[in-house]
Structure 1
Amino acid sequence: MSEGDTDVRDASEEPTGRPANDPTDEAAGKGDHRAIDATGLSHAFGDIRVLDDVSLSVGTGEIVALVGPNGSGKSTLLRFLANVRAPDEGAIRVGTDGHTRVGYLPQQPIFRSGFTAADTLQFYAQFVDGDVDVSKILDRVGLAHAGNRRVEALSGGMARLLGLGRALIGDPAVLILDEPASGLDPGMVERLFDIVSSLADTGTAIILSSHNLGPVERTADRVVVLDDGSFVADGTPRELIESAGTTDLQTAFGTLVSTDGVDGR
């Protein structure tokens, strides 16, 4: 898996919407507690700075969408929040009331060939406490019909759904999804965002990146726009749309970032 998201430039615009990078702000979540609290995250790959003093808090049951152009630092930030790797600077606290498990769906989930989808989930289930109902997870992510199919025979979209299933093992307090809707047909995109909403309703904090801004607008509690390694906007979908003077989030996105070649505009 490549490091990705390394083509950045110096940010030059003032944030739009809520003040960005303010760790004293209360997370605008549905719950009363912060499930994830990241402060002062900075990182560079060689002489290329991919994150510059980024702070983010997410409340229990809150859905936060991280959007931005390719190369803005999204995947790098998500890996830090998922504890896959550590930033050069900054601190991250995850979980509430002792529940610190994080579920993570990378942009390109990888599975060992020769195993079925059910076998794959059963393998990862052995690393968590308690019983795991693999059949229930497969059904929840829309793969009940494919439990006996070998992973190499899954389509790209189905492999991504299996990755979501793997992330759900152990009932994580925080779920981090990197482009979860990539490769899915429109019906499965809607199903995926329905799953995200139902998980948030049970108190799971969710951070996801996506170029599918229609479902993001309908589902996310907050949208955080990352450009050139810094947050340039942070607010509800409606707040960002109104601040940009547009009628939808897809159009607003193009006015909030400085990059000329906007992916998803």
Structure 2
Amino acid sequence: MDHAYGDVNVLQSVSLTLPSGTVTALVGPNGSGKTTLLRVIAGLLDQTGGTIRHRNHDVVRSIGYLPQQPAFRPGFTARETLSFYAALVGADEDAATKHLERVGLKEAADRPVEELSGGMIRLLGIAQATIGNPPVVVLDEPGSGLDPGMRVHVFDVVGELAANGAAVLLSSHDLELVERSADRVAVLDRGRIASEGAPTEIRDCVDADTLLQAYEATVTGETGTVRVRGDSS
């Protein structure tokens, strides 16, 4: 897959598989193309080369997407907001309540969205992204700007989505949480996948003790680009 803004190539020959029931974390320096890649996969940008293939064709909503800065119309409660999106995808009447419970916002269901904290807004965004149970869920920095406890909660919710069968792709700078929570990691550097595989595979490939050390060696090291392919790729 390729994507260019005019004459500037942002993504070059990117190949990525998202298996059902797994969490894939996309990591990389600022400006490496992470958000562009997520937006292309979510269908918000057209790729300028390559193809995107979906295995699930007979669904109302094939991909759910959470942007970096989710925003909702003020004056509506969390429940009313989700009910609106549920109606758009033909979900049942209880979908809003079920999704609020899933992300831990049951007690805030009747609060206006403008009174929700930043963490709650992100959780509401994840609930919105999963209304209709899309088989692929794309989350752009779901833990950005949150306190450590809320970040852990967000990643726990992401793990539950995968446990229920979704293929989850998220971007994150929190490599400790990524190492703990992700089934697979893809390191994006200057528009190319520099390393891909399970966290242990990426560590072992460069003889690192932590994913952070492996990331630093992959992105800035002198050993060049590494590619790791596990059995599930």
On whether the aligned pair clears a TM of 0.5, the verdict is: yes
- Listed as ranges, the matches of 1:33-72 within 5 Å are 41-72=1-32
Per-residue deviation, residues 11-52 of structure 1 (Å, max 9, x unmatched): xxxxxxxxxxxxxxxxxxxxxxxxxxxxxx111112321101
Task: Give the gaps of 5 or more residues in structure 1.
Answer: 1-40, 260-265
Corresponding residue for residue 81 of structure 1? 41
Per-residue deviation, residues 102-156 of structure 1 (Å, max 9, x unmatched): 1111111121111111111111110112304212211221222222222222222
Corresponding residue for residue 69 of structure 2? 108
Higher strand share goes to which structure? 1
For 1:76 and 1:122, the matched residues in 2 are separated by: 29
The count of residues paired between Structure 1 and Structure 2 equals: 219
The 3-state SS of whatever aligns with 2:120 is helix
Per-residue deviation, residues 136-186 of structure 1 (Å, max 9, x unmatched): 211221222222222222222221111101011001101111111112222
Q: Provide runs of 4+ in structure 1 moved above 6 Å.
A: none
Q: Aligned letter for 1:168?
A: T
The 3-state SS of whatever aligns with 1:175 is strand
Scaled by the length of structure 2, the TM-score of the pair is 0.88
Instruction: Give the stretch that moved more between structures: 185-194 or 208-217.
Output: 185-194
Alpha carbon RMSD of aligned pairs, Å?
1.6
For 1:60 and 1:249, the matched residues in 2 are separated by: 23
For 2:130 and 2:80, the matched residues in 1 are separated by: 15
For 1:55 and 1:98, the matched residues in 2 are separated by: 24
Scaled by the length of structure 1, the TM-score of the pair is 0.78
The 3-state SS of whatever aligns with 1:152 is helix
Task: Give the gaps of 5 or more residues in structure 2.
Answer: 222-233
- Listed as ranges, the matches of 1:68-147 within 5 Å are 68-96=28-56, 98-99=58-59, 101-131=62-92, 132-147=94-109
Higher helix share goes to which structure? 2
- Identical aligned residues as a percent: 51
Corresponding residue for residue 201 of structure 1? 163
- Listed as ranges, the matches of 1:1-265 within 5 Å are 41-96=1-56, 98-99=58-59, 101-131=62-92, 132-258=94-220
